[in-house]
Structure 1
Amino acid sequence: MRSSIVSSILGWSRPVKRFVSVAADLCLLSIAIWGAFALRFETFNWLPDGKQLVVSLATVLVTIGAFVRLGLYRAVIRYLSEHAFLAIIVGVAFSSVALIVFGFLFQALVPRSVPVIYGAFAFLLVAGTRFSVRAAVRRPREKAKNSVLIVGAGPKGLQLASALSQGVEYRPVGFVSLVSSNHRSVIGGLPVYSVEHLEKAVRELDASRALLALEDVVPVNRKQLLAALEKLSIPVQTVPSMSELVAGQARINDIRDLEIEDLLGRDPVRPDTAIVSESLYGKSVMVTGAGGSIGSELCRQIIRHKPKVLVLFEQSEFSLYSIERELRSISQIESLDVTVHAILGSVTHRRRCEAVLKAFGVQAVYHAAAYKHVPLVEHNVIEGIQNNVFGTWHTAEAAIAAGVERFVLISTDKAVRPTNVMGATKRMAELVLQGLSQRQSQTVFSMVRFGNVLGSSGSVVPLFRDQIRDGGPVTVTHPDIIRYFMTIPEASQLVLQAGSMGQGGEVYVLDMGEPVRIADLARKMINLMGLEEKTTDSPDGDIEIVYTGLRPGEKLFEELLIGDNPQGTAHPRILMAREVSLTWDEVEEYLGRLTRASQSFDCKAALNILIEARTAYSPNGGVADLVWCKSGAEVPEYHDQDGKVLRLS
């Protein structure tokens, strides 16, 4: 009944609502004046004389006019803010002064205390009725909102609470402060709990979810915070970073699932921006594979260092169109004045690469073009070799011919003692560049090797998130499989940092801390989305983790170094590997043999060459190339560099 009456009132037209507000204020102000005189004369039987009546009416009418000028009747009561509060204060103060002035003009009996008492009564009645109506109207809506606990009691947390209060989906019920001394305090009318009392806060405030609103510049022990959040029985989400807010890329109330770097439980690696800027500012730079996950982020990072020209080299038309459009927008909005060229082409076409490099006077190349999905490359051996090995070789030779100053290869931890074709081709690509670095000194070649990139195409995090949203199960290949992880921005920053440090032939790796167990990552994501893992001990859980077995070419753990004696660099989190390399004559011989094997589509010969080429390639399963297997080819025999036979079943 009550809600229907409220809905009916809310359905009135604006003119009707304003008329009701004016009529109500006329009555309330009249009551305030009568009350002030009655209190002053200490009698409830007080009636005004003729002059007092005129003064009272004039005061009320002038006050209504003041409220109109202050815009009080334009304010929507259900969304009243501090601005309406201030308008009432100013209007009432003006009204009290008007009462004094009219009393003097009409020579009416207006004791000095009456305007003060009247002002207090008028404010209480006008403001009190409005905020009471606001509370009555908003109460059902507030109850319908999802109650949220804001983790972070800084400026971002307060801004988020204010934005959510004005919205229609979430209702802030309290804060969690990372500073223990803030426990049991109150901010913006909401209670504050310390991290140690996080579970208590959720229970007492009946929060349905937790929102992370951490300050970008304040150091946070992410691992400890995540461990506390995982214990909650509610989903945990986050809000955009301050850089996204400042750039206008997002709003404070754009709620989303936890950022990938939050799942890592460690602070991201920061580059030395001064050194990176020096190597890019005013230069002509080309990124191959510019439309891919790593290549596109590289472009976003590079363009903000204001190169003179940025060349996007990509074979996928749609990917190229998308990144070109985004970069042109960034350049225009941020007034970077960078010339962006979108070039279609394949890194396997040397003449095309050389023509592009010469046409735009490219000084630095970041080679991100590669086939990187392990099972797909395992099923398409020759194409993987063509793109990863010959694509790198042809682009590098084109760079030498075009007089490019720096060439940086994006490599992978799977190139270390590889058990799959993708890793073997990337290790072979490293050997190619090391050989070219020995052959000449004009172009500085360097390689950057890092672990799995979260958020890239084929990453486990988006896959797990989709599986959890679909109700499960979450598929993990093996309960003990572990991986090193980093974010796309981290990987891109490392590439830029290494590109500025390289002297020729170095392989750089990132000190990525402790590896992450994939099954633990899946459990963490399930818990942080407010769900429970379904196990034999907990059959009523929400999401089950299913182990599917290792895929072709996959191993339980990855390494970043072949040797055990890495060398430090100017950056505390970047190491330089000390590993075996081949002379250019040896590399050239292997490349010639790979060319002939590829041209004849001989997977047997191609894989045998990768094993012989001191890549440390040791396949852990049978030949998985789909076309090769379909053709019924004989099982090949492989030999390692010591002549030992490696047979693939």
Structure 2
Amino acid sequence: MRLRKEVLPLWLIDLLLIGLAWWTAFWLRFNFDIPDEFETLAWLGIPWTVASFAAGLGIAHVDRQVWRYIGLPELRQLGWGVFLGGLFSAAIVLMMRYPSFPRSVLLLHPLIGLVFLGAVRAGWRTFAEQTRPPDGSRPLLIVGSLQDAADALRALKGSSQWRCVGIVSPLATERGTYLNQIPVLGLSGAAVEIAKSVGASTALIASPPGSDERRDVLLQSSRAGLTLLTMPRPDEWLRTDGTSPRKIELEDLLGRQAVELDMRGLAGLFSGQTAFVSGAGGSIGSELCRQIARLGVTRLVCVDASEIAIYKLEQELRETHPQMQGFYYTANIREKERLLAIAMQYKPSVFFHAAAYKHVPLMESHNEIEAIRTNILGTLHAARVAGACGAQKFVQISTDKAVNPTNIMGATKRMAELVVQSVALEFTATEFVSVRFGNVLGSSGSVVPLFTEQIARGGPITVTHPDIVRYFMTIPEAARLVLQAGLMGKSGQIYVLDMGDPVKIADLARMMIRLSGKSEQEIPLSFTGLRPGEKLFEELMADDETTEPTPHPKLRVAKTSGQQAVGIQGVIDWIENVGPLPSSNDVRAWLRGHVPEYKSQA
């Protein structure tokens, strides 16, 4: 057993205490007056006892403990080591057959030894904490239940930056209790007033993501200048040390519990394989690439029409996954031959199609034909290329705007779903799946970057309607569910993601104002009216659709009352013959002919 220099003195102290416990056991056994013959037995047994406990404590790795940070796990480890030492010691002493040896000593000694070893550790930690020199640590208030606060305190153990001065809990029954000698000072609704009373200008929100406590404290904090922190999310642990609090973000207020993935199944799907991602430079596409790379894919083919987007993705993945073979192409999915040539060169086993035009107002006027050529014809090309190169899976990213669409973007995405189902009939060896979800926090073209810019300019924040609501999820969560649907999906299926509860856009804007440290008086809201093609609320299922559960709790399969057939060649012919600038009425009429549920507002 090899000991580090800084641990050796502590190890010697442990062994001395074991020896002292041995003599104490004899003293207690004989009422502090050990007869001469038994004193001789004590001297004879002590070398064996110390050696036995050295072995037991060593097996339990007690020698590796840092006394300054001792806690319950270390004390349990210590108890295991003492038990082993006592067992070895008793076995050796009994084997030596010392005459008239008091066997009660063999029971007393481990108990006394455990008390001595535990006491010296507790005293050491207490002394270290009380004599810690002033280091500029700042008072911190923890917001959350005792369970949440206990998890946060464990993560902060040993931190020299923060000093917890109190806890505020959402549970009235916990008020007045203590956790690690830290009092629960009141309810989370009074967090700001309590923070002022204890001199804390920072609060750590330990409650789960998306909880009401997070939002309530945020609304209070902006009025009082209280800085809010939270612990890193699991997906951030690889990029941070996992223990340093960070500023609270919008995802923490709207997010939900981490998505559980079938890691064994996904590893089997991707490990050692080739994956292809179209639209790889976009928000969802790039996150898909990151997560696919983590799953051990051998080759990743990334395609995007944007030169700067694919360049940034290349730089990131080359740095974070140098062992992976990455291939980065600038190409447009509307050019079938280019797409086919790239795919045939690598023969991917999994094809993710994330390329699309998705900005509703921009596609609603002047650019209708562009939405059709990219979202419909581009999807057709991508799906047929996946089938032609022998891919096992093809996964298309769809949207909740494809449900009972009222705009061009939604209608073209619904048409894309139908096209994928039709191509599935052509290539039966490939499984074609569509995944439908709502808005993604922070994705390009979403309201979050827009609101951020408006706040930076000093406002106002423009919201179309005070009652407009949308479903939101984070980019990592969306990508994980797309991967999971790709693993589980059967050909022709449309998956619907559990988006949780919808969020009012006006409330979202107010939360962003608070997060910026401003008030609504400083950054006002301005309601501009619904834009063309925009709905007050989005749906995840059409009127004639139902859903069926899947083994994954956040994924359901959409079932329609009747399968709509799409004449693919007719679609191609119309797009090729309609010309570069068809009338808006002609485009809408053609879409209504293929997507009966499309209700144009124009």
TM-score, normalized by the shorter chain, greater than 0.5: yes
Letter of the 2:473 partner, please give it: M
> Are positions 1:570 and 2:551 aligned together?
yes
| 424 and 221 in structure 1: CA distance in 2 versus 1, 3 angstrom threshold | closer
| 478 and 259 in structure 1: CA distance in 2 versus 1, 3 angstrom threshold | closer
Q: How does 1:271-350 map to 2 (within 5 A)?
A: 271-332=261-322, 337-350=323-336
Q: How does 1:120-519 map to 2 (within 5 A)?
A: 135=134, 148-151=140-143, 153-154=149-150, 156-157=152-153, 159-160=155-156, 163=159, 165-166=160-161, 173-176=165-168, 184=176, 192-193=184-185, 195-196=187-188, 198-199=190-191, 200-213=193-206, 222-232=211-221, 233-234=223-224, 235=226, 237-239=228-230, 241=232, 243=234, 246-249=237-240, 252-253=243-244, 255-260=246-251, 262-264=252-254, 266-332=256-322, 337-379=323-365, 380-519=367-506
Shift of 1:384: 1.7
Shift of 1:576: 1.0
Shift of 1:268: 4.2
1:145-172: CA deviation from partner (whole Å, max 9, x where unpaired)? 7x65343533544655865x54xxx876
Letter of the 1:507 partner, please give it: I
Gaps (5+ residues) in structure 1?
A: 1-81, 84-126, 534-540, 622-649
| 242 and 223 in structure 1: CA distance in 2 versus 1, 3 angstrom threshold | closer
Q: Distance in 1 between matches of 2:451 and 2:253?
A: 12
Shift of 1:325: 2.1
Compare 236-245 and 499-508 and name the one that shifted more: 236-245
1:152-199: CA deviation from partner (whole Å, max 9, x where unpaired)? 533544655865x54xxx876544467877755677886554554642
Aligned length: 468
1:37 is matched with which residue? none
| 487 and 161 in structure 1: CA distance in 2 versus 1, 3 angstrom threshold | same
- Contact (CA 8 Å) 2:406, 2:598: kept in 1 or not? yes
**Aligned to 1:565, what secondary structure does the other structure show?**
strand
1:57 is matched with which residue? none
| 242 and 495 in structure 1: CA distance in 2 versus 1, 3 angstrom threshold | closer
Letter of the 1:556 partner, please give it: L
> Are positions 1:553 and 2:533 aligned together?
yes
**Aligned to 1:154, what secondary structure does the other structure show?**
helix
Q: Distance in 1 between matches of 2:536 and 2:281?
A: 30
- Contact (CA 8 Å) 2:318, 2:326: kept in 1 or not? yes
Shift of 1:201: 2.2
| 171 and 545 in structure 1: CA distance in 2 versus 1, 3 angstrom threshold | farther
Shift of 1:224: 4.6
Shift of 1:437: 1.4
| 272 and 473 in structure 1: CA distance in 2 versus 1, 3 angstrom threshold | same
Aligned-pair RMSD on alpha carbons? 3.3
Q: Distance in 2 between matches of 1:423 and 1:161?
A: 50
Q: Distance in 1 between matches of 2:518 and 2:231?
A: 23
Of 590, 593, 597, the residue aligned with 2:574 is 593
Q: Distance in 1 between matches of 2:320 and 2:573?
A: 44
Shift of 1:244: 5.7
Q: Distance in 2 between matches of 1:600 and 1:237?
A: 52
- Contact (CA 8 Å) 1:161, 1:172: kept in 2 or not? no
- Contact (CA 8 Å) 1:150, 1:212: kept in 2 or not? yes
Q: Distance in 1 between matches of 2:172 and 2:209?
A: 13
Q: Distance in 1 between matches of 2:167 and 2:158?
A: 12
1:619 is matched with which residue? 600
- Contact (CA 8 Å) 1:447, 1:506: kept in 2 or not? yes
Of 605, 609, 619, the residue aligned with 2:586 is 605
Shift of 1:299: 0.9
| 509 and 187 in structure 1: CA distance in 2 versus 1, 3 angstrom threshold | same
Letter of the 2:431 partner, please give it: V
Of 546, 549, 565, the residue aligned with 1:583 is 565
| 228 and 338 in structure 1: CA distance in 2 versus 1, 3 angstrom threshold | same
Q: Distance in 1 between matches of 2:548 and 2:408?
A: 28
1:201-228: CA deviation from partner (whole Å, max 9, x where unpaired)? 22312433423356xxxx6772354345
Shift of 1:470: 4.2
| 453 and 550 in structure 1: CA distance in 2 versus 1, 3 angstrom threshold | same
Compare 559-568 and 271-280 and name the one that shifted more: 271-280
1:542 is matched with which residue? 522
| 387 and 514 in structure 1: CA distance in 2 versus 1, 3 angstrom threshold | same
2:3 is matched with which residue? none
Shift of 1:608: 1.9
Q: Distance in 2 between matches of 1:422 and 1:246?
A: 37
Identical positions, percent: 41
**Aligned to 2:149, what secondary structure does the other structure show?**
coil
Q: Distance in 1 between matches of 2:324 and 2:572?
A: 38
Letter of the 1:223 partner, please give it: D
Compare 180-189 and 363-372 and name the one that shifted more: 180-189
- Contact (CA 8 Å) 1:381, 1:421: kept in 2 or not? yes
- Contact (CA 8 Å) 1:149, 1:202: kept in 2 or not? yes
Shift of 1:481: 0.6
Q: Distance in 2 between matches of 1:192 and 1:462?
A: 38
Q: Distance in 2 between matches of 1:317 and 1:543?
A: 36
**Aligned to 2:288, what secondary structure does the other structure show?**
helix
| 595 and 268 in structure 1: CA distance in 2 versus 1, 3 angstrom threshold | farther
Q: Distance in 1 between matches of 2:279 and 2:428?
A: 25
Shift of 1:229: 4.5
Q: Distance in 2 between matches of 1:431 and 1:573?
A: 23
Compare 290-299 and 301-310 and name the one that shifted more: 301-310
Shift of 1:272: 2.7
Letter of the 1:311 partner, please give it: V
| 390 and 228 in structure 1: CA distance in 2 versus 1, 3 angstrom threshold | same
Q: Distance in 1 between matches of 2:299 and 2:168?
A: 47
Shift of 1:373: 1.3
| 471 and 176 in structure 1: CA distance in 2 versus 1, 3 angstrom threshold | farther
- Contact (CA 8 Å) 2:494, 2:558: kept in 1 or not? yes
**Aligned to 2:280, what secondary structure does the other structure show?**
coil
